[in-house]
Chains A and B, each alone.
Chain A
Amino acid sequence: MTTIEQVYEILSKVTDPEIPVLTLDDLGVIRDVNVISDDEVEVKITLTYSGCPATDVMAGDIRAALFVAGFTKINITHVISPAWTTDWLSPKGREKLKKYGIAPPAATLSLQEAIVECPQCGSKQTKIISEFGSTSCKALFQCENCLEPFDYFKCHR
């Protein structure tokens, strides 16, 4: 029988549809896994932002990955408590974001006080351009040193 560890291993390869460098594990949305039998498995995931359109795609991708691994009965349920915050992002996930060109969340909700490092040149002299960005989870910043605009993964809690 496939073990829970093996299921986690399979899930660790499923990525966020909008930020494909992050796995769902890095994002911190997988809350529980339960292997019921050889062909039946239960996965509990949580939403990031409540309207995030990626959620349904994530569930579909999980289903596909587990199906390929031999499961035919795949129950995916959504849990909303404890609510997801950006504190659930793994340290590895934060590093991946930076390398991908997205500044990881700062320690404060305030966009003015947040020290957001430019993912291109590392300068801390950056400014907010738009509170809302290309997805629910991001805001748009610009570096005042290298002048590159970049996405900031907002602190959410």
Chain B
Amino acid sequence: MLFKYLLQLADNQLILSQRLSELCGHGPALEQDIAITNISLDLIGQARLLFQYATKHDDQKRNEDQLALVRPENEYRNVLLVEQPNVDFAHVIVRQYFYDEFNFLNYSALVNSKDEELAAIATKSLMEVKYHLRFSRNWMLRLGDGTAISNQKMQDAIDDLWAYPGELFEMTADEQVLAKAGVAVDVSTLQENWKEAVLATLQEATLAIPEGTWHQTGGKKGIHSEYMGHILAEMQFLQRAYPNQTW
């Protein structure tokens, strides 16, 4: 049960990291290219800590690379938000900001986990996530409250991605049990704070709050969008073609 929870946490960091890494060398300006690559690096580092811990709880005794790189698609437990395509810089920033606000709240709660190792990973990761959040939030403001074109691009990205954050606050059966035991975070309790922070940012950025309340879901159950297969094809190619290769 803990194993699945660890994978779920790790997969979100892993897949978002992979998405961001696609932009290495393709950022809109050098500073942003470096920023996105650095955030990607932090996220893969955080994913590694979680995968390394997960290996201790895996019945099949897989190593870190096998967990990250050779599971079939339906065993990945990341939310749909993090697998959404880069599209343009506005989509990259909005996806990042939505996730960073969640990541910040989730790790802020996870530092109190009764599982000491998980609490330690959260404490370490939280320091990095605070920095990510500052970056993505500043860009929300700068582009939202920027030119007519940047505002429109941000609004389009928000409207496109609005259906995805809801899944972040859904509880799986395993999460419910682990949350009761004080190990996992009850993510459903984070939704109000998330909304409050995001709405405040949208308002400050002169961006409209979408009216829709429906949200798309599936990733936490292993049912992914059509993008996931393409992400995995690139990410898994080397380990599948040359099993157990290392640097």
The digit string for A77-95, where 1 denotes a CB below 8 A from any CB of B, is 0001101110000000000
The digit string for A21-35, where 1 denotes a CB below 8 A from any CB of B, is 000000000000000
Q: How far is the CB of B196 from chain A (nearest CB, A)?
A: 22
- Give complex CA distance A156, B116 in Å: 22
B39 neighbours in A (Cβ, 8 Å): 132
**Does B35 contact A130, Cβ atoms closer than 8 Å?**
yes
* A58 at the binding interface (Cβ < 8 Å): no
- Give complex CA distance A133, B33 in Å: 10
The digit string for B199-230, where 1 denotes a CB below 8 A from any CB of A, is 00000000000000000000000000000000
**Does B35 contact A131, Cβ atoms closer than 8 Å?**
yes
Q: How far is the CB of A47 from chain B (nearest CB, A)?
A: 7
B31, B46, B116, B117: which contacts A50 (Cβ < 8 A)?
Answer: B46
* B61 at the binding interface (Cβ < 8 Å): no
Q: How far is the CB of B56 from chain A (nearest CB, A)?
A: 13
| B residues contacting the other copy or chain, number (CB 8 A) | 28
**Does A85 contact B120, Cβ atoms closer than 8 Å?**
no
- Give complex CA distance A134, B42 in Å: 14
**Does A132 contact B46, Cβ atoms closer than 8 Å?**
no
Beta-carbon nearest neighbor of A129 in chain B: B31
A49, A83, A132: which contacts B34 (Cβ < 8 A)?
Answer: A132
* A53 at the binding interface (Cβ < 8 Å): yes
**Does B41 contact A157, Cβ atoms closer than 8 Å?**
no
**Does A51 contact B127, Cβ atoms closer than 8 Å?**
no
Looking at the complex, which of B89-97, B128-136, B141-149, B234-242 is the stretch in contact with chain A?
B128-136
Which residues of B101-145 have CB atoms within 8 Å of chain A's CB atoms? 116-117, 119-121, 123-125, 127-128, 130-131, 134-135
**Does A132 contact B35, Cβ atoms closer than 8 Å?**
yes
> Beyond A50-B48, A80-B121, is A132–B127 a contact (Cβ under 8 Å)?
no
B125 neighbours in A (Cβ, 8 Å): 50
Beta-carbon nearest neighbor of A81 in chain B: B120
The digit string for A129-150, where 1 denotes a CB below 8 A from any CB of B, is 1111110100010000000000
**Does B124 contact A83, Cβ atoms closer than 8 Å?**
yes
- Give complex CA distance A52, B46 in Å: 10
- Give complex CA distance A131, B39 in Å: 11
The digit string for B73-107, where 1 denotes a CB below 8 A from any CB of A, is 00000000000000000000000000000000000
A49, A85, A154: which contacts B42 (Cβ < 8 A)?
Answer: A49
**Does B128 contact A50, Cβ atoms closer than 8 Å?**
yes
Beta-carbon nearest neighbor of B50 in chain A: A50
**Does B120 contact A50, Cβ atoms closer than 8 Å?**
no
Which residues of A91-140 have CB atoms within 8 Å of chain B's CB atoms? 109, 129-134, 136, 140
- Give complex CA distance A133, B37 in Å: 10
* B49 at the binding interface (Cβ < 8 Å): yes
> Beyond A80-B120, A80-B121, A132-B38, is A50–B49 a contact (Cβ under 8 Å)?
yes
Which residues of B25-54 have CB atoms within 8 Å of chain A's CB atoms? 31, 34-35, 38-46, 48-49
Which residues of A38-57 have CB atoms within 8 Å of chain B's CB atoms? 47, 49-53
Enumerate 26 A-B pairs (CB-CB under 8 Å) in ascending A order.
A47-B45, A47-B124, A49-B42, A50-B42, A50-B45, A50-B46, A50-B49, A50-B128, A51-B43, A51-B46, A52-B45, A80-B120, A81-B123, A81-B124, A83-B120, A83-B123, A83-B124, A130-B34, A130-B35, A131-B131, A131-B134, A132-B31, A132-B38, A134-B34, A136-B42, A154-B131
Which residues of A are at the interface with B, using a C-beta cutoff of 8 A?
Answer: 47, 49-53, 80-81, 83-85, 109, 129-134, 136, 140, 154, 156-157
